[in-house]
Structure 1
Amino acid sequence: MSGKFLGLSAADQTSLLRLAILGLISAVAIGSRLYSVIRFESVIHEFDPWFNYRTTKYLVTHGFDKFWNWFDETAWYPLGRVVGGTLYPGIMVTSAAIYNALHLLNLPVDIRNVCVFLAPGFSALTAIATYLLGKEVKNATAGLLAAAFIGIAPGYISRSVAGSYDNEGIAIFLLVWTFYLWLRAVRLGSALNAAFAAISYFYMVSAWGGYVFIINLVPLHVFTLLAMGRYSNRLYVAYSTFYALGTLSSMQVPFVGFQPTFTSEHMAALGTFGLIQVVAAAHYIRGQLPAQQFQTVVRGAVLVLFTVGALALAVLTARGVIAPWTGRFYSLWDTGYAKVHIPIIASVSEHQPTPWPNFFFDLNLLIWLFPAGIFFSFRELTDNHVFLILYSVFAAYFAGVMVRLILTLTPIVCVMAGIAVANLLETYSRNAPSASNSNEPVSMGKRLYALLPRAAVVVNFMFFLFMFQWHCSWITSTAYSSPSVVLASRSPDGSQHIIDDFREAYYWLRKNTRPDAKILSWWDYGYQLAGMADRTTLVDNNTWNNTHIATVGRIMASNEDKAYELARHLDVDYVLVIFGAMLGYSGDDINKFLWMIRIAQGVYPDEVNEQAFFNHEGQYSIGDDASVAMRESLLHKLCYYRFSEVMGPQSFDRVRKQRLPSKVELDNFEEAYTTENWMVRIYKVKDLDNLGRSHHMAAEFAGPRESGFSPF
């Protein structure tokens, strides 16, 4: 009987089956990321994606030249922002290219939908790249398993759901693809593959600041192989090609510029490039000199080069030629540095150390298979496995000190898990000794007994895989598929209730304020204000100017009169605050207030003191037992103004679980708009009194105070 099916050989059938499995994995990867679109609508999520979406629209509308030279006077008022030179343009250019290609094919897809579905599309490419990486380091079985794992792993889904239009949406694919090409270049000694790896690295540099991980891990791989005595011409060709082309191409990104030549985070790559040239020269000289003379030359050369290199590094660093580690990178090594010296970095939730439950939440079954994969890599320890081990160790460390970096850990965990499971399946799929190899017949009982361990392992493992898939689907559905701009809750009858206060407030600003109105808010909402309200903001999520952010924090922490003076000085027209006491929304400005105070205190220590905002018992209180500084602060007044009138004097703040302050009065700011659920409150900065009086005096002269605007 012929072994062919559909006229295909066994090898072709295997290839077709792998292709079909990869297609299914890609479909599942895309489909599992569409919960948010199905439940809500096609909408951009979170905060940073709104800036990416706004800049992508500008690129599509005005073209690349204007985009590259765009000065945005509506951001960081009155400073403005040079947009083209202060961003990673990779994701914008990618979306614009897809948009233009679709329109060239007469497919009039809106740019918003391109942006919304970009990350799910790239997740399919990530699964394919992970398959190729797993196949490169082990075999096709490990590759398929790794692809299946990364297709649904919550650690990657968290930044690649539909609507999550952030840099990581394409960067994780580029990370895996670059590593695959690098390992292939090392194995084959191929300058072509190394050049492709450099091109992929350039794309990564244009897309995400996490490219620094690549340009440090690859040199570390080379250095480790040299230290193990594994120098080869293949390694020399691969790294020399990759470093030269990768560095030159990365400097074409304006935001990066010449940083690869003078910043500390790039010096390891430069030093390794120099080291491998020395090692290559030593191997050449070794063939030209007697052994004893060669050892003398090598010892002298190593001593001289090490001394000169160390002195040069010390002198150049001391003179400022080589820039020190920036705060965000330095905080990876000294985890307490940012909280003490740069609170603006520590205030970002994704920069916090990772709680242990997060690893099990985002990786689940894979976290147990991860060490097994490392063990099997140690057992073989090829050049590729050395890379996997280094990647595992450093990615695990960085993921432990910064919750955001679970993203870089997830791919290697999936690959290691794929290797572990592939080895397990290989062990139990080996053919048992058959009767044909022996003159003695094998009884049916012995055959069944031989199959029992295999059946037990397969059944147990399938059960664990089912539970892993269920966990991933549940986490994706409940935790990672809710856009922060649109919230949802359940009514008593079980129906879904949409909470759309953010877009309600931004739409009100867009329709009821002057086009040149200046909006003051905490920096978290700057990108959303610019993207949805289309109004000028003082600070946003770029956080490049700590002094400007501290000034906003100072306004929020100051008493009403001082805050009014500062707001008038900055030409502020409206102040926007987020308030969650009615709904129980814990991500409001009162809960962020301590970070505002700490950042302001770092720049204005004589004006703002954190201890003044704790009551006599040392507690962070918002009620009548709060400290004077807290009760008199602008943020406290803007949040709780008239709230007790609506909720009643005996009501509680549902977030802080504290009784409401009994009386809050405002003189210099007037309530302009409060959303349906009181989540967003907007206040207008009053003009100066016509008679030159303070607003407090004018209010007393006018008689009893009246309740202001009511949203009900």
Structure 2
Amino acid sequence: LEAGSISMAAGGGGRLRNALSGMLCAFALLLIGVLAFSIRLFSVIKYESVIHEFDPYFNYRVTQFLSKSGIYEFWNWFDDRTWYPLGRVIGGTVYPGLTLTAGTIWWLLNSLNIPLSVETVCVFTAPIFSANASWATYLLTKEAKGHGAGLMAATILAMVPSYISRSVAGSYDNEAVAIFALIFTFYLYVKTLNTGSLFYATLNALSYFYMVCSWGGYTFIINLIPMHVLLCIVTGRYSSRLYVAYAPLVVLGTLLAALVPVVGFNAVLTSEHFASFLVFIILHVVALVYYIKGLLTPRLFKVAMTFVLTVGLALCLAVVAILAALVASSPTKGWSGRSLSLLDPTYASKYIPIIASVSEHQPPTWPSYFMAINVLAFLVPAGIISCFLPLSDASSFLVLYLVTSVYFSGVMVRLMLVLAPAVCILSGIALSEAFNVLTRSMKFQRPISDGRR
């Protein structure tokens, strides 16, 4: 009886500690959201609540038209004051995610009798979504390295200069919501990898659809995730969870992406998306091999393996030949100008001067990295080492995300924005591991009373 009462008391104490830690974690996340929101209000406090820069003001005009005329008029709106005198079909030439998000927020607030103007909603959209991005960073890092690393990474993202430059109040551009969609899509992918849940896989496809609606940088997602899937296959880490995490994203995500007018059939016709389809085929071949291996004896499996490899290689060569013919028929080999500028840094200066003339498309200098991510650059190597101790599917994805974003940020200074979440996550992991090492020697033991003083 005494032992049972002690175990019940210990269980109750454990539940109490879990509840207390959950409350503290929620309170810390609330403070991080407030920090991320308030730190981006300096332009409003110093000047006033206004939209600044040209592209944000154009997005504000589109949002204003959406709020007045409705979504159906928005899709068919021909704006004769943009790109004068040619005009512009707004519904088919803009990424509508930012506009629809701000318009929905404005509609909800007015439905609740909170009469804010469209301009005010547009001014504060970026700070609001910076808090959401911090929380998404916490979720992503938690899946890889636990709550402590997640809180640290979220705190760093709330203050990193590279992200602040694109999310201040009044900076009403696509990146205001796109970075949140990027991080949240990665979180749902890693969550599906860890759980194998089809529910999270469906949410992942929907989050990817929101990213496609928000920014042209969605091609980074649809190339990075296939690279990680291929890395897992090559290193012998294939599992049913990997299949569930990737297959619904390609099928459902591509179908949803084709619904966005500015993307349309480019979701299946351009070279930016071919890697996802090729890895999709390879994944099914590997899944078939593992399925056959579970049914046959080792001797029969070798015979079947030879047959499957022969047929599979023939099919892969046929598909590659068809894709090569399609790509060769295009003057740009199926790539957009900006994508070619990332793959070949000299391409824009040779063939598309208008892209090379934009300052944010120039390669960054070394001081730019220090101004954008500051002292975090010195913490990233420690974070990479921590990801390998031990190496999991989630931690390998974070390392791959960092490596690819470092390359692309070195080609185009604008993509320092994509690098910032990866740097914050790896730095948060490094700081969390450092605190764990410092506190590992502190052991708290509960004294057991035996009746003696």
Aligned AA for 1:326? S
The letter of the residue matching 1:134 is: T
Other-structure match for 1:363 = 373
**Aligned twin of 1:90:** 97
- Summarize the Cα distance change of 1:100–1:433 in structure 2 as closer, same or farther, 3 Å threshold: closer
Provide, for residues 371-404 of structure 1, a one-character-per-residue CA deviation record: whole Å limited to 9, x for no partner.
1111111232111111111101000000111111
Q: In the alignment, what sits opposite 1:376?
A: 386
- In the alignment, which residue of structure 1 is the partner of 2:215? 208
Give distance in 2, aligned partners of 1:322 and 1:341: 11
**Are the counterparts in 2 of residues 198 and 245 from structure 1 also a CA contact under 8 Å?**
yes
- Tell whether 2:203 aligns with 1:196: yes
> Aligned residue for 2:438?
428
Q: Which amino acid aligns with 2:227?
A: L
Q: Structure 1 residues 428, 106: CA separation in 2 closer, same or farther (over 3 Å shift)?
A: same
SS in 2 for 1:379: coil
2:56 alignment counterpart: 49
Distance 2:427 2:94 in 1: 35
CA distance in 2, matches of 1:131, 1:433: 27
Cα distance, 1:77 vs. partner?
2.8
2:169 matches 1:162? yes
Alignment-mate amino acid for residue 50 of structure 1? Y
Would you tell me which structure has more helix in proportion to its own residues? 2
Match of 1:313 among 294, 310, 323: 323
**Inter-partner Cα distance in structure 1 for 2:220 and 2:208:** 11
Matching residue's letter, 2:20: Q
Quote how far apart the aligned CAs of 1:365 are: 1.7
The residue aligned with 2:126 is: 119
Given candidates 283, 286, 289, the residue that maps to 2:293 is 286
Return the letter of the residue paired with 2:171. Answer: S
Contact 1:264 1:322 in 2 (8 A): no
The yes-or-no answer on 1:11 pairing with 2:21 is: no
Separation in 2, partners of 1:322, 1:331:
11
What secondary structure sits across from 2:379 in the alignment? helix
- Paired AA for residue 122 in structure 2: C
Of 41, 45, 62, the match for 1:38 = 45
Which string of whole-angstrom CA distances, capped at 9 and with x for unpartnered residues, describes residues 311-340 of structure 1? 122222223499611111100011111112
From 407, 411, 422, give the equivalent of 1:401: 411
Q: Distance in 2 between matches of 1:385 and 1:280?
A: 23
Aligned counterparts, 1:325-474, within 5 A:
325-431=335-441
* CA drift at 1:92: 0.6
* Residue 236 (1) aligns with residue 243 (2): yes
Q: Tell me the residue number matched to 2:451.
A: none
Distance 2:34 2:304 in 1: 59
Checking the alignment, whether the CA contact within 8 Å between 2:341 and 2:348 is kept in structure 1 is yes
**1:4 Cα deviation from its structure 2 partner:** 12
State, as a whole percentage, how many aligned pairs show the same letter.
49
* Structure 1 partner of 2:264: 257
Q: Distance in 2 between matches of 1:35 and 1:3?
A: 49
Contact 1:352 1:403 in 2 (8 A): yes
Superposed displacement of residue 78, structure 1? 2.7
Task: Compute the displacement of 1:159 (Å).
Answer: 0.4
Which residue is 1:245 aligned to?
252
Q: Is the 8 A contact 2:160 2:373 kept in 1?
A: yes
Tell me, yes or no, if the aligned pair for 1:316 and 1:322 is still in contact at 8 Å: no
The SS at the match of 2:261 is coil
- 2:234 alignment partner in structure 1: 227
Secondary structure (helix, strand or coil) at the match of 1:372 reads: helix
CA contact (8 A) 2:292 2:301 kept: no
Contact 1:263 1:322 in 2 (8 A): no
Counting only pairs closer than 5 Å after superposition, residues 279-678 of structure 1 correspond to structure 2 as 279-289=286-296, 290-320=300-330, 324-431=334-441
**1:103 matches 2:113:** no
State the Cα distance separating 1:13 from its structure 2 match: 0.9
- Tell me: CA distance 1:283–1:31, structure 2 relative to 1, closer, same or farther (3 Å): same
Query: Which residue type is aligned with residue 411 of structure 2?
Result: V
- Stretches of structure 1 lacking an aligned partner (at least 5 in a row): 437-712
For residues 631-675 of structure 1, give each alpha carbon's deviation from its aligned partner in whole angstroms, at most 9, with x where no partner exists: xxxxxxxxxxxxxxxxxxxxxxxxxxxxxxxxxxxxxxxxxxxxx
Task: Evaluate the alpha carbon distance shift between residue 115 and residue 403 of structure 1 in structure 2; reply closer, same or farther with a 3 A threshold.
Answer: same
Root-mean-square deviation (Å): 2.2
Distance in 2 separating the partners of 1:220 and 1:159: 28
Pairing 1:675-694 to 2, within 5 Å after superposition: none
Task: Write the distance in 2 (CA, Å) between the matches of 1:347 and 1:292.
Answer: 58
Contact 2:289 2:305 survives alignment (8 Å): no
Q: Which amino acid aligns with 2:343?
A: W
> C-alpha deviations, 1:429-464, integer Å up to 9, x for none?
11358999xxxxxxxxxxxxxxxxxxxxxxxxxxxx
CA distance in 1, matches of 2:221, 2:313: 30
CA distance in 2, matches of 1:188, 1:322: 41
Quick check: 1:132 aligned with 2:142?
no
Q: Does the Cα contact within 8 Å between 1:4 and 1:10 map onto a contact in 2? A: no
Q: Could you tell me how far apart the structure 2 residues matched to 1:342 and 1:62 are?
A: 37
> What is the CA–CA distance in structure 2 between the aligned matches of 1:188 and 1:93, rounded to whole Å?
32
- Tell me: CA distance 1:135–1:293, structure 2 relative to 1, closer, same or farther (3 Å): same
Task: Assess, with a 3 A threshold, how the Cα gap between structure 1 residues 155 and 4 changes in structure 2: closer, same or farther.
Answer: farther
Kept after mapping to 2: 8 A contact 1:26/1:127: yes
CA distance in 2 between partners of 1:434 and 1:96 (Å): 53
How far the C-alpha of 1:292 sits from its partner, in A, is 2.7
Measured in 2, the distance between the counterparts of 1:162 and 1:186 equals 35
State the alpha-carbon separation in 1 of the partners of residues 443 and 431 from structure 2: 23
Q: CA distance change for structure 1 residues 361 and 205 in 2, over 3 Å: closer, same or farther?
A: same
Q: Which position in structure 2 is the counterpart of 1:147?
A: 154
Deviations 1:236-273 (A, max 9, x none): 12211111111111111100001111100000011111
Normalized against structure 2, the TM-score is what? 0.92
Query: Are residues 435 and 314 of structure 1, via their aligned partners in 2, closer, same or farther at CA, if it must alter by over 3 Å?
Result: closer
The separation in 1 between residues aligned to 2:115 and 2:122, in whole angstroms, is 14
SS at match of 2:388: helix
**Equivalent residue number for residue 505 of structure 1:** none
Residues 191-228 of structure 1, C-alpha deviations (whole Å, 9 max, x = no match): 11010011011011001001111111111111111111
Query: Residue type of the partner of 1:307?
Result: L
Letter aligned with residue 407 of structure 1: L
For residues 96 and 208 of structure 1, what CA distance do their matches in structure 2 show?
17
SS of 1:17's partner is helix
- Please name the residue that 1:66 is paired with: 73
Task: Work out whether 1:172 is the aligned partner of 2:182.
Answer: no
Unaligned runs of 5+ residues in structure 2 are 1-8, 447-453
Q: Which has the higher contact order (CA 8 A, sep 6+)?
A: 2
Amino acid at match of 2:422: I
What amino acid is aligned across from residue 90 of structure 2 in structure 1?
A: V
Deviation string 1:552-605 (CA, Å, 9 cap, x unpaired) is xxxxxxxxxxxxxxxxxxxxxxxxxxxxxxxxxxxxxxxxxxxxxxxxxxxxxx
Query: CA 1:318–1:340 in structure 2 vs 1: closer, same or farther (change >3 Å)?
Result: closer
Distance in 1 (alpha carbons) for counterparts of 2:19 and 2:389: 32
Distance 1:41 1:312, change over 3 A: same
* Deviations, residues 90-114 of structure 1 (Å, cap 9, x unaligned): 1111111111111111111011000
